[in-house]
Amino acid sequence: MAIIGKIRKRSGLLIILIGVAIAGFILQDAVRSTKGFKNKKLGVINGTDITYTEFERKYDEQVDQIKQQQRKENLTSQEMYQVRQTVWGQMVNEILMNKEYDELSIEVCQEEMNDMFYGKFLHQFILQNFTNPKTGQVDRQRIIQIINGFEQMKPEEQKQWKSIEEYIKNDRIHSKYNNLISKAYYLPKAFAKRAYETQNDNVKCRLVSVNYNTISDSTIKLDDKDYQAFYDEHKNEFEQEASRDIDYVMFEVLPSKDDFEATTKQVNQVYTDFQTADKVAEFVNSNSDTRYDSMFVKKGVLPLKIDSAVFNAGVGTFVAPYLDNGIYKMAKLIDVQMRPDSMKARHILISFQGAYNAAESVKRTKEEAKKIADSLRLVVQKDTARFMPIAQASSDDPSAKENKGDLGWFADQQMIPSFNDAVAKGKVGETVVVESPFGYHVINILAKKVPEKKVRVALISRALQASNQTYKNVFAQANKFASENTTVEQFEASIKKQGLNKRTAEYVQPTADNIPGIENARELVRWSFNEETKKNDVAKQVFEFDNKFVVAVVKEVREKGIASLEQVKPRLEYVVKRDKKAAMLIEKMNTALTSTKDLYQLAAKFNTQVDTVGNLNFAGYNLGRKGYEPEVIGTIFSMKKAAVSKAIKGNTGVYIVTLDEIIKAPAAVDYTMVRMQMQGMYQQRLNEINKIIQDKAKIEDNRLFFF
């Protein structure tokens, strides 16, 4: 099952059972919540439930997959948060799109599946994973063997193959859906003609404009009716998602003077013991925050102070403890060598029974392997031209079938130590035999970079950390602040009085994981969205995040839907004043039009000038140097030649326009290019289909109650 193994490395899926700790966390939150969530689903999408169990199963699969792909034991809290977001999006999309597929009766039959796996129209996944790089041909017979031998596969291999089948099937359904929509687009000739004219017809016009800034803001008095009128007219523009504004104070736990003195004393004792330690590696691992590293490094890699000390000293030299950005560091020079930065070699591996990664077919003993390796060394030493054919035919390294044993250039210490040292110490052109956990290697040294000075250093690092007592002291300080400031007025006054640094997180979403200065801030976010938490509520509890204690207040509560006038009012002053100025200018300019329609007389009356705009295009956005004025442009293209408009409200001022000339585009016989352009624009919008469907869906998102 070599192919299965290859695919597993790329995207293996293993289910991890949900931990008791998570279950406990959920139970604890249910008690805290007013209504609890024991009867809630994680989500409801157009009447279809997303259960917590199913979500966690998919989440665990994704986490396990990422761990395998990135070769990690654990993910960071931020990575886990991103996985939860991704899984939620996938499940919502799957529910909504499956409904679309069902309503349109889009499906994939078994004949199509066979065709994509080993037929005429192979799926891209099959082409990528089952193509022989030498021949460029897809191994269809191998695919058929896997399918026919499905029942004989291991359970994890069956699961992996099923996931491949599901992926290919879903991809095919999605392609059918997109093709159905894209092929449904048709542009009649009359529409194509209109689009062509819109893009190519031009006009020449003159205009008079009076900017809004000619009226001082101080002369415009607004009342509630003005704001209400604007709000009522533009209400649909104030659609919003649920969010919160949070003000908070952080009490950071930093090492105290006593902590500094205690850590310094400990570090000095470690340094004393370090100078007499016999087993340096073990001592480092027992006393350092970082493990012993036996690598040789060149100049410039080590911390600056240690680097400058050891490269001009003899073996055994110590670097005394010093504080570097909150971390104590000390070091001992273990060894100095002249080593090449990179090397080139080829090898023949002769493994033996019991060697690491040896094939089951290898039955030779260790002694027999050594004899074969020694014999091969003598053969290739006499005639190096025979090395590659022998490697291809006899090496137990699977890659030798392709590379004939040639490893190319590799960095110093990239290979296992015995192999690496043999190449580093040997002479170019020499063939040597060396043992490793994999077996015996017949190595032909091909080239080496010029050796340079490298050092092996035992480095001990100790972070300066706060003690438990310091944690208690800072918590007591935060708790005192919280207990004494239970209203927003007290909260603000105490911050000012004590000279504390208040932070603000605006428009915090229910699913937010981080806020400024705080990672994994879910506990604080969830409190701010609790049904009992109202605007201007100060948290009764002190929140703890790593080395920070936080006291917070909710300064604004926004619910999903149309924002209230009170919430949007602070940002409406400019546009409401602008509209009031527009009304004043429109009245004056329309009055002026009753006595004259001559633009130059109007310009003189309003102390402005007449501007000429040529080659104005309806498909454009800018009205010459006046900038973005779509309302004015639309009016111009609805006018007749020589007509003079009434006053038009624009973005920067009020306009009066006259249309001087209409420049028609040359008549087109063929609108193919226009149709292709319009269809291309339409097809680009296919990427928005999922979002449009989600926007129209009824989605109940209860994740806030769970995590």
Instruction: Give the pLDDT confidence of 461-507 residue by residue, as tens digits.
Output: 999 999 999 999 999 999 999 999 999 999 999 999 999 999 999 99
CA distance 75 to 70: 10
pLDDT, mean of residues 609-633: 92
- The one-letter amino acid at 600: Y
In this model, does residue 184 exceed pLDDT 70?
Answer: yes
CA distance 696 to 479: 46
pLDDT, mean of residues 315-341: 95
User: What helix, strand, coil percent values describe the chain, rounded to 5?
Assistant: 50, 20, 30
| Neighbouring-strand partners of residue 503 | 248
Q: Using CB atoms within 10 Å of the CB of residue 662, give its burial: 0 to 12 exposed, 13 to 18 middle, 19+ buried.
A: middle
Residue 338 is encoded by which pair of tokens?
């002249």
Reduced to 3 states, what is the DSSP secondary structure of residue 701?
Answer: strand
CA distance 677 to 80: 42
Backbone dihedral region for residue 302 (phi beyond 0: left; psi -120 to 50: alpha; all else: beta): beta
- The one-letter amino acid at 272: T
pLDDT, mean of residues 119-123: 91
Residue 192 is encoded by which pair of tokens?
């194509």
Measured torsion, CA atoms of residues 113, 118, 123, 128, in degrees rounded to the nearest 10: 140
In this model, does residue 37 exceed pLDDT 50?
Answer: no
Position 454 scores a pLDDT of 95
Among candidate residues 595, 606, 508, 587, the one with its CA nearest the CA of residue 552: 508
CA distance 478 to 250: 8
Taking only the tens place, the pLDDT of each residue in 64-96 is: 888 888 888 888 888 898 999 999 999 999 999
DSSP per-residue letters across 335-366: EEEEE-SEEEEEEEEE--TTSTT--TT----H
Q: What distance, in Å, lies between the first and last C-alpha atoms of the chain? A: 40
Q: Find tokens 């003993």 and name the residue.
A: 365
CA distance 63 to 13: 9
Q: Find tokens 């105490």 and name the residue.
A: 494
Sign of CA dihedral 410, 414, 419, 424: positive
Taking only the tens place, the pLDDT of each residue in 553-599 is: 999 999 999 999 999 999 999 999 999 999 999 999 999 999 999 99
Strands 48-50 and 43-45 turn out to be: antiparallel
Please state the φ and ψ torsions of residue 167, each to the nearest 5 degrees: -60, -45
In this model, does residue 185 exceed pLDDT 50?
Answer: yes
Alpha helices, H only, 427-467: none
In this model, does residue 119 exceed pLDDT 60?
Answer: yes
Q: Find tokens 């082409």 and name the residue.
A: 127
In this model, does residue 441 exceed pLDDT 60?
Answer: yes
Position 512 scores a pLDDT of 92
Cβ pair 255, 464 in contact under 8 A: yes
60 to each of 17, 56, 86, how far by Cα in Å? Answer: 7, 6, 12
Q: Count Cα atoms within 13 angstroms, Cβ side, for 321.
A: 22
CA distance 79 to 375: 53
Backbone dihedral region for residue 230 (phi beyond 0: left; psi -120 to 50: alpha; all else: beta): alpha
Q: Which CATH class is domain 342-449?
A: alpha beta
Position 22 scores a pLDDT of 32
Q: Return mean pLDDT, the chain.
A: 89
Position 67 scores a pLDDT of 87
Alpha helices, H only, 275-347: 280-287, 304-310
Position 620 scores a pLDDT of 84
Cβ pair 251, 477 in contact under 8 A: yes
Reduced to 3 states, what is the DSSP secondary structure of residue 168?
Answer: helix
Alpha helices, H only, 358-487: 366-382, 387-394, 400-403, 417-425, 468-484
CA distance 309 to 555: 55
Position 418 scores a pLDDT of 94
Instruction: Report the 10 Å Cβ neighbour count for 399.
Output: 13
Helix 672-684, helix 189-200: angle, nearest 10: 90
pLDDT, mean of residues 214-235: 94
Among candidate residues 321, 322, 302, the one with its CA nearest the CA of residue 312: 302
Residue 143 is encoded by which pair of tokens?
């695919």
What percent of the chain shows pLDDT beyond 90? 74
In this model, does residue 319 exceed pLDDT 70?
Answer: yes
Position 401 scores a pLDDT of 87
Cβ pair 433, 377 in contact under 8 A: yes
Q: How confident is the model at residue 157 (pLDDT cuts 50, 70, 90)?
A: confident
Q: Which CATH architecture has domain 202-239+571-663?
A: Roll (3.10)
CA distance 590 to 608: 16
Q: Which helix (H) or strand (E) holds 331?
A: strand 327-339
What percent of the chain shows pLDDT beyond 70? 94
In this model, does residue 289 exceed pLDDT 80?
Answer: yes
Alpha helices, H only, 130-223: 140-148, 155-183, 189-200
In this model, does residue 13 exceed pLDDT 70?
Answer: no
In this model, does residue 26 exceed pLDDT 50?
Answer: no
In this model, does residue 449 exceed pLDDT 80?
Answer: yes
Q: What is the largest CA-CA distance in the chain?
A: 115
CA distance 146 to 141: 9
Cβ pair 651, 629 in contact under 8 A: yes
In this model, does residue 10 exceed pLDDT 70?
Answer: no
Taking only the tens place, the pLDDT of each residue in 664-706 is: 989 888 888 988 888 888 878 877 888 889 889 999 998 988 8
Indicate the DSSP class of residue 612: E
pLDDT, mean of residues 56-67: 89
In this model, does residue 548 exceed pLDDT 60?
Answer: yes
In this model, does residue 264 exceed pLDDT 90?
Answer: yes
Residue 592 is encoded by which pair of tokens?
């002026």
Position 40 scores a pLDDT of 65
In this model, does residue 5 exceed pLDDT 70?
Answer: no
- Distance between alpha carbon 193 and the CA centroid of its chain, in Å? 44
Cβ pair 386, 428 in contact under 8 A: no
Which comes out higher in pLDDT, residue 6 or 694? 694
